[in-house]
Structure 1
């Protein structure tokens, strides 16, 4: 038990220090102004998925109405 704690304690301290300093990649992207490109690409992909799901729902609704009408 003591051996396990002695192995886990340094690892947890290292993770806590890494979390406290923050992600370096996000800081670099923010400084270069590229974070806005990343956000824009994510927004476009999510908007595309939303439009696709809405159109798919409309098609399914139309097909369901055709099946129930027969």
Structure 2
């Protein structure tokens, strides 16, 4: 239960920090990527990578928990 609570807090803090990074000035590279629609490709790739990492960590946690139970 502590893991889920800790993960929820970390994810909330990360979203707050990402909003804090936004600035009023425009960036030309961001405008270029947005005008071509490539920004969505970048976001999709990052999202797929993060989901893959979280799934891998979840499976690894299950395997480690199983090994710990077997060793007791």
Q: How many residues align?
A: 50
1:65 to 50, 60, 69: 69
Which stretches of structure 1, 4 residues or longer, exceed 3 Å deviation after superposition? none
Query: Which has the greater radius of gyration?
Result: 1
Q: CA deviation at 1:58?
A: 0.3
Among candidates 13, 34, 39, match of residue 30 of structure 1: 34
The Cα of 1:35 is off from its aligned counterpart by 0.5
TM-score, normalization by structure 1: 0.66
Unaligned runs of 5+ in 2: 1-22
5+ residue gaps, structure 1: 1-18
RMSD of the TM alignment (CA)? 1.1
C-alpha separation in 2, matches of 1:61 and 1:25: 45
Aligned equivalents of 1:29 and 1:42: distance in 2? 15
Q: TM-score, normalised by structure 2?
A: 0.65
CA distance in 1, matches of 2:54, 2:41: 20
